């Protein structure tokens, strides 16, 4: 009798099936669709104005110049300041870093408490918190301006950091709550029998098991806050505008010649941080998103 | 007799749902109590209340003559073993064992001494520096038991500790838990839905249903004299047979359709007459024979048999009701045969059909 338990010989090749052709065809088209604008931006940012005026936006630069990048970073003018995007970059760093750290710390403790230390009304509290994420930002802008004014922090970095922290709360708390509730409840019980308290369990048991979800939260917050424009323009003043606002001011300035190469370079500089975050942590991100479904 | 655990009028409600209803339980020192019942009967809930992991609605819990009703789990003098092992995945076995002791600020050399002792008892010395992920199911549960052991407590709580293991390992660890109990002589409260575990391990079994302890007694007592229909049907595999009938002749006999059985020698005194009674007979207490013995046998027709290795479970029709009998494999009767079932009335139970209580 023939041994049917194992396949023998080489697996039949099937590289050029209709399926594969359609699949890779669509993938290729999609990639071109998304990569083409990036290509145009990079090419344009490496040309000088004379070459741009010749009009062929798809042609690679005849003479590569990095001057637009330097100008976008250090010399472009917005209003009275002519120190380019660098000022906005450092403002954004000073806004993003504390906002990300504070919001993740608070939200992770929130999520942990909502799952493991349920108190009277904790479900109501959570519902209200989640409800907050459904209200359009525009409705809340003016009330927040008043609140910040009354607190005396309107137009300061601290005020904007507070706003970012609060607005990150609903989605982050949801994220952490769902993750923590996917961890086995018996671990928490065992730790309580072992005499660990609220913070003991959080730091020694929960934190070491939650790195994937922290990475997800980190990416969400860094890109979200870095890319924010609305809060930055409403709650701060020109000296501390974040990079996105400054980019807008450079690109949309109405005086003089439109320097497309500088604008392109400036835009890419602004998008660089989220881009790097994605590239560095892409694998971790996917793992974190999937982590909710994985059982220990 | 010193009390190890006393539960007084324990009540627990989840919203409007009453999970535990006025529960009372006295456990003597060194006793092995098994809480047994179907899913949702409140057995695990009771254990969690004892551990202090659930806040109770009303009542009191005493452990070692101390009122611990509102004490923290770690201050109750208990160790707990969970179904899913609940080992801290990021710590080594040694870290798992020492975590509780470090929290309790036990000195370092004392921690080492206790871990060495627990590792010796459970034979997990070679595993001490491994992470839980690198252990098999049986090893993990051993470490989980070790975590309770190092706490040096008087009371062990087990929450279905063997349910996640395969049948062979389960039998091995069952013996090991029994050995552990006879060596340490701690009080042990053990939750399970497996009646074999309950019958083999327990000094006393508490059968629970709907948040109430139905019967709390030694395994043999529960097996032979179940207090009601539920307990009778729950304990024993294959399950007890129930035949509807009536107690007549001033309690001297029970009438099952046409047949009548003599009740002399019934374990439970002479019952009073009642028109609605249920006779409970275990499959192993019935024998099949060819000839009738008036007052001791009931006629039956063989329907089919289920061979189970050494024995065979024969299903018969008695007065239009199904009855199973356990017979040696080689003695099973032929299908469709007219036979007589001999009843050992001293091992039977009679229940009132309305109250469902044993009479």
Per-residue confidence (pLDDT) for residue A292, from 0 to 100: 47
Answer whether B86 sits within 8 Å of A296, measured CB to CB: no
Domain boundaries of chain A, sorted by first residue: 18-65, 86-291
Residue where a domain terminates, one of B228, B262, B283: B228
The secondary structure of residue B160, as a DSSP letter, is S
Tell me what the mean pLDDT of segment B327-338 comes to.
87
Residue B234 within a domain? no
Residue A268, C-beta contacts closer than 8 angstroms, at least 6 positions apart? A41, A42, A45
Answer whether B147 sits within 8 Å of A190, measured CB to CB: yes
User: Looking at residue B172, which CATH number applies to its domain?
Assistant: 3.40.50.300
Between CA A223 and CA A217 the distance in angstroms is 10
**Residues A131-166: tens digit of each pLDDT:** 887 888 888 899 999 999 999 999 899 999 999 999
Answer whether A186 sits within 8 Å of B48, measured CB to CB: no
Contacts of A189 in chain B (CB under 8 A): 48, 51, 53, 73, 80, 82, 86
CA-to-CA dists, residue B222 to A275, B46, B204, B292, angstroms: 70, 21, 9, 31
Tell me what the mean pLDDT of segment B134-139 comes to.
91
Distance (Å) from the C-alpha of residue B73 to the closest C-alpha of chain A?
Answer: 5
Per-residue confidence (pLDDT) for residue A59, from 0 to 100: 87
**Residues B107-134: tens digit of each pLDDT:** 999 999 999 999 999 999 999 999 999 9
Query: Both B193 and B251 in a single domain?
Result: no
A/B interface, count of CB pairs below 8 Å: 61
Percent of chain A with pLDDT over 70: 92
Between CA A193 and CA B123 the distance in angstroms is 23
Query: Both B182 and B98 in a single domain?
Result: yes
Answer whether A209 sits within 8 Å of B89, measured CB to CB: yes
CATH topology assigned to domain A86-291 = MetI-like fold (1.10.3720)
Contacts of A203 in chain B (CB under 8 A): none
Report cis status (omega within 30 of 0) of the bond before B146.
Answer: no
Answer whether B99 sits within 8 Å of A204, measured CB to CB: yes
Tokens describing residue A273: 């941080």
Contacts of B74 in chain A (CB under 8 A): 192-196
CB B68 within 8 A of CB B41: no
Tell me which of A177-186, A196-205, B328-337 is least confident: B328-337
Nearest to B51 among A191, A193, A208 (CB): A193
Residue B293 has pLDDT above 70, yes or no: yes
Residue B36 has pLDDT above 50, yes or no: yes
Per-residue confidence (pLDDT) for residue B264, from 0 to 100: 86
Query: Both B247 and B223 in a single domain?
Result: no
Nearest to A200 among B79, B85, B103 (CB): B103
CB A68 within 8 A of CB A45: yes
Query: Both B56 and B155 in a single domain?
Result: yes
Between CA B61 and CA B6 the distance in angstroms is 6
CA-to-CA dists, residue B301 to B284, B316, B321, angstroms: 18, 5, 11
Q: Answer whether A208 touches B (CB < 8 Å).
A: yes
Answer whether A209 sits within 8 Å of B83, measured CB to CB: no
Query: Both B52 and B148 in a single domain?
Result: yes
Domain limits at B11?
Answer: 3-228
Per-residue confidence (pLDDT) for residue B1, from 0 to 100: 55
Query: Both B29 and B134 in a single domain?
Result: yes
Residue B153 within a domain? yes
Query: Taking Cα atoms as reference points, which of B271, B259, B249, B248 lies closest to residue B348?
Result: B271
Tell me what the mean pLDDT of segment B201-208 comes to.
95
Number of H helices, E strands in chain A: 14, 0
Query: Both B53 and B142 in a single domain?
Result: yes
Distance (Å) from the C-alpha of residue B100 to the closest C-alpha of chain A?
Answer: 4
Between CA A148 and CA A160 the distance in angstroms is 9
Query: Both B274 and B219 in a single domain?
Result: no
Residue B221 within a domain? yes
Residue B184 within a domain? yes
Residue B358 within a domain? no
Tokens describing residue A213: 């979800």
Query: Both B180 and B276 in a single domain?
Result: no
Residue B14 within a domain? yes
Tokens describing residue B3: 């009390």
Query: Both B223 and B319 in a single domain?
Result: no
Query: Both B81 and B110 in a single domain?
Result: yes
Residue B303 within a domain? yes
Put simply, the chain A residues between 23 and 52 with a CB less than 8 A from any chain B CB are none
Contacts of B100 in chain A (CB under 8 A): 193-195
Q: Is B248 exposed, middle or buried (0-12, 13-18, 19+ CB in 10 A)?
A: middle
Query: Both B215 and B310 in a single domain?
Result: no
Model confidence at A228, in pLDDT bands (50, 70, 90)?
Answer: very high
Residue where a domain terminates, one of B228, B259, B280: B228
Tokens describing residue B125: 């010395």
What ipTM, to 2 d.p.? Answer: 0.86
Residue B266, C-beta contacts closer than 8 angstroms, at least 6 positions apart? B345, B346, B348, B350
Per-residue confidence (pLDDT) for residue A288, from 0 to 100: 64
Q: Angle, to 10 degrees, between the axis of helix A122-131 and the axis of helix A157-182?
A: 130
Model confidence at A293, in pLDDT bands (50, 70, 90)?
Answer: very low
Provide the H-helix boundaries in A73-209. Answer: 86-116, 122-131, 137-151, 157-182, 185-193, 198-201, 207-209
Residue where a domain terminates, one of B198, B228, B258: B228
Per-residue confidence (pLDDT) for residue A295, from 0 to 100: 38
Domain count within chain B: 2
Contacts of A199 in chain B (CB under 8 A): none
Contacts of B79 in chain A (CB under 8 A): 193
Answer whether A193 sits within 8 Å of B73, measured CB to CB: yes
Residue with tokens 């491994």: B130
Q: Is B8 exposed, middle or buried (0-12, 13-18, 19+ CB in 10 A)?
A: middle
Closest-approach residue (CA) in chain B for A116: B53
DSSP string, B279-329: EEE-GGGEEEESS--TBTEEEEEEEEEEEETTEEEEEEEETTEEEEEEEEG
Tokens describing residue A189: 């019980």
User: Looking at residue B334, which CATH number applies to its domain?
Assistant: 2.40.50.140
Residue B74 within a domain? yes
Helix, strand, or coil (residue B31): coil
Between A214 and A290, the more confident residue is A214
- Direct distance between the N- and C-terminal alpha carbons of chain B, in angstroms, rounded to an integer: 31
Q: Answer whether A191 touches B (CB < 8 Å).
A: yes
Contacts of A195 in chain B (CB under 8 A): 72-75, 100, 103-104
Residue B17 has pLDDT above 70, yes or no: yes
Query: Taking Cα atoms as reference points, which of A150, A149, A171, A159 lies closest to residue A103?
Result: A171
Query: Taking Cα atoms as reference points, which of A235, A256, A238 lies closest to residue A246?
Result: A238
For residue A67, the tally of other CB atoms under 10 A from its CB is: 14
Put simply, the chain A residues between 217 and 256 with a CB less than 8 A from any chain B CB are none
Per-residue confidence (pLDDT) for residue A278, from 0 to 100: 82
Answer whether A189 sits within 8 Å of B84, measured CB to CB: no
Query: Taking Cα atoms as reference points, which of B97, B81, B69 lies closest to residue B11?
Result: B69
- Direct distance between the N- and C-terminal alpha carbons of chain A, in angstroms, rounded to an integer: 43
Between CA B333 and CA B315 the distance in angstroms is 10
């Amino acid at each position: 009798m023939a041994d049917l338990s194992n396949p023998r010989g080489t697996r039949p090749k099937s590289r050029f099936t209709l399926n594969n052709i359609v699949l890779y065809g669509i993938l290729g088209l999609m990639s071109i669709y998304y990569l083409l604008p990036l290509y145009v931006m990079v090419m344009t940012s490496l040309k000088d104005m004379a070459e741009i005026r010749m009009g062929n936006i798809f042609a690679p630069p005849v003479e590569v110049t990095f001057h637009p990048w330097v100008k976008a970073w250090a010399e472009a003018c917005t209003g009275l300041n002519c120190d380019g995007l660098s000022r906005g970059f450092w403002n954004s760093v000073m806004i993003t870093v504390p906002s990300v750290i504070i919001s993740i710390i608070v939200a992770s403790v929130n999520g942990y408490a909502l799952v493991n230390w349920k108190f009277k009304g904790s479900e109501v509290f959570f519902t209200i918190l989640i409800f907050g994420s459904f209200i359009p930002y525009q409705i809340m802008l003016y009330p927040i301006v008043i609140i910040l004014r009354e607190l005396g922090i309107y137009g300061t970095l601290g005020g904007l950091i507070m706003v970012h922290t609060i607005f990150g709360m609903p989605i982050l708390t949801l994220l952490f709550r769902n993750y923590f509730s996917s961890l086995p409840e018996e671990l928490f019980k065992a730790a309580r029998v072992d005499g660990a308290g609220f913070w003991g369990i959080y730091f020694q048991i929960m934190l070491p098991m939650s790195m994937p979800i922290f990475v997800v939260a980190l990416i969400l917050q860094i890109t979200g806050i870095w890319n924010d424009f609305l809060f930055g323009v409403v709650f701060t003043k020109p000296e501390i505008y974040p990079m996105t606002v400054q980019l807008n001011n450079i690109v949309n300035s109405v005086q003089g010649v439109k320097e497309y190469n500088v604008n392109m370079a400036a835009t890419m500089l602004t998008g660089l941080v989220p881009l790097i975050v994605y590239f560095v942590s892409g694998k971790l991100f996917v793992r974190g998103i999937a982590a909710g479904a994985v059982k220990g | 007799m010193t009390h190890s655990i006393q539960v007084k009028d324990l009540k627990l409600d989840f919203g409007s749902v009453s999970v535990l209803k006025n529960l009372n339980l006295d456990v003597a020192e060194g006793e092995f109590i098994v809480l047994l019942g179907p899913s949702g009967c409140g057995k695990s809930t009771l254990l969690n209340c004892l551990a202090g992991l659930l806040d109770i609605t009303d009542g009191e819990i005493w452990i070692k003559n101390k009122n611990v009703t509102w004490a923290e789990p770690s201050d109750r003098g208990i160790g707990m073993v969970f179904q899913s092992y609940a080992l801290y995945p990021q710590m080594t076995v040694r870290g798992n064992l020492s975590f509780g002791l470090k929290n309790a600020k036990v000195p370092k050399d004392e921690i080492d001494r206790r871990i060495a002792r627990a590792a010796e008892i459970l034979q997990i010395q070679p595993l001490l520096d491994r992470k839980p992920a690198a252990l098999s199911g049986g090893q993990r549960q051993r470490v989980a038991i070790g975590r309770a052991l190092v706490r040096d407590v008087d009371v062990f709580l087990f929450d279905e500790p063997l349910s996640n293991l395969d049948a062979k390992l389960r039998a091995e660890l069952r013996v090991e838990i029994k050995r552990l109990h006879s060596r340490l002589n701690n009080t042990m409260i053990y939750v399970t839905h497996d009646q074999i575990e309950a019958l083999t391990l327990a000094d006393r079994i508490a059968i629970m249903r709907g948040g109430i302890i139905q019967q709390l007694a030694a395994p043999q007592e529960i097996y032979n004299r179940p207090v009601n229909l539920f307990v009778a049907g729950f304990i024993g595999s294959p399950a007890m047979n129930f035949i509807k009938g009536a107690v007549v002749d001033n309690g001297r006999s029970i009438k099952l359709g046409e047949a009548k059985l003599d009740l002399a020698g019934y374990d439970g005194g002479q019952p009073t007459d009642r028109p609605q009674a249920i006779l409970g007979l275990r499959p192993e207490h019935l024998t099949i024979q060819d000839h009738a013995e008036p007052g001791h046998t009931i006629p039956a027709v063989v329907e089919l048999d289920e061979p189970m290795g050494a024995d065979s479970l024969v299903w018969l029709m008695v007065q239009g009701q199904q009855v199973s009998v356990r017979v040696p494999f080689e003695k099973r009767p032929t299908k469709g045969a007219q036979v007589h079932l001999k009843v050992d009335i001293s091992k039977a139970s009679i229940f009132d059909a309305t109250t469902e209580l044993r009479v």
